């Protein structure tokens, strides 16, 4: 079974102490501050906490995931993407915050769950709409370790295909490269992620160590282009097979709308 790359627990300490993806042993996140923009702007690749309309810090049903890219939905609304299975089921309003050490703190941006999450044969993606579109940085992605604030520019959307060498900018794992994209999973042979059969996602594989686990769901899958990156999709989940790590992402070209770079 393919495993999710988010973390969900009833209390914050439990939420941040687990590394469930790929069956990794339990670990505790370091106290070193995670990727944070000091102004509170959401940058692609930062770890975020998502919870229903409750006070922050999140103490009930919070999920640690990763922010994807800034996106313009087909109706003109400005949102940012993350994995569909990260979104809180049935929530009409969502709060999200940065994860640092063993706690979550609010960012300036918070608002609503926009459009019901898509989890199934049309991929694994969802949209969060901040109160202000300017609270999402559309032209930056974190490009180093999970505790580094180093960024690179995003210059556009790449052409999604098999045979590409790509990276993932995960909130827990940092920048992990060396994945090679494979086939697009057909609706006739879906994979299982968080108990749901998922298709219209692309498989990618790499040899050696896998992503660290809890908190990477929703991360941007990116293709290096000179000193900048092109975005291909939104990370969903993964699994290990021998010495090979497999992961799956929803291509941006399968999500209604368009990338925003401002």
pLDDT of residue 134: 86
List the chain pLDDT tens, one digit each, 262 residues.
566 677 643 222 222 222 223 222 222 333 345 676 666 688 999 888 777 655 545 455 567 789 999 999 999 999 999 999 988 766 666 666 665 555 566 555 566 788 889 999 999 999 988 878 888 899 999 999 988 889 999 999 999 999 999 999 998 889 999 999 999 999 999 999 878 899 999 999 999 878 766 789 999 999 999 999 999 999 998 877 778 899 999 999 999 999 999 9
pTM, two decimals, is 0.85
> What confidence score (pLDDT) does residue 33 get?
52
Residue 34: per-residue pLDDT: 61
Report pLDDT for 172.
Answer: 85
> What does the pLDDT read at residue 146?
85
Q: What is the pLDDT of residue 53?
A: 57
DSSP structure string for the chain: -BEES-EEESSHHHHHH---GGGPPP----SS--S--TT--EEET-EEEEESSSPSSP-SSEEEEE---EEE-TTS-EEEEE-GGGSPTT-SEEEEEEEETTEEEE-S--EEEEEEEEEETTEEEEEEEESSGGGEEEEEEE-S-TT---EEEEEEE----TT-EEEEEETTTEEEEEEEEEEEPPTTS-EEETTEEE-S-EEEEEES-----TT-TTPEEEEEETTEEEEEEEEEEEEEETTEEEEEEEEGGGSSSEE---
Give me the domains of the chain, ranges plus CATH numbers: 1-262 (2.40.10.10)
């Amino acid at each position: 079974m393919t495993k999710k790359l988010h973390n969900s627990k009833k209390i914050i300490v439990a939420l941040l102490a687990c590394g469930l993806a790929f069956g990794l042993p339990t670990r505790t996140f370091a106290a070193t501050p995670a990727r944070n923009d000091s102004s509170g702007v959401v940058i692609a690749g930062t770890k975020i906490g998502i919870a229903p309309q409750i006070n922050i810090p999140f103490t009930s049903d919070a999920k640690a995931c990763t922010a994807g890219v800034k996106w313009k939905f087909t109706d003109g609304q400005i949102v940012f993407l993350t994995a569909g299975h990260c979104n809180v089921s049935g929530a009409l309003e969502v709060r999200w915050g940065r994860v640092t050490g063993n706690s979550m703190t609010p960012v300036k941006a918070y608002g609503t769950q926009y459009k019901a999450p898509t989890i199934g044969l049309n991929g694994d993606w969802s949209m969060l709409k901040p109160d202000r579109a300017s609270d999402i940085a559309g032209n930056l992605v974190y490009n180093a370790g999970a505790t580094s604030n180093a960024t690179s520019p995003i210059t556009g959307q790449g052409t999604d295909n098999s045979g590409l060498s790509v990276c993932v900018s995960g909130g827990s794992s940092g920048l992990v490269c060396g994945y090679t994209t494979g086939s697009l999973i057909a609706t006739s042979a879906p994979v299982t992620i968080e108990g749901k059969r998922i298709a219209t996602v692309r498989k990618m594989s790499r040899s050696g160590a896998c992503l660290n686990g809890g908190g990477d769901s929703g991360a941007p899958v990116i293709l290096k282009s000179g000193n900048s990156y092109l975005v291909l999709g939104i990370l969903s989940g993964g699994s290990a097979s021998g010495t090979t790590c497999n992961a799956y992402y929803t291509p941006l070209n399968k999500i209604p709308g368009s990338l925003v770079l401002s």
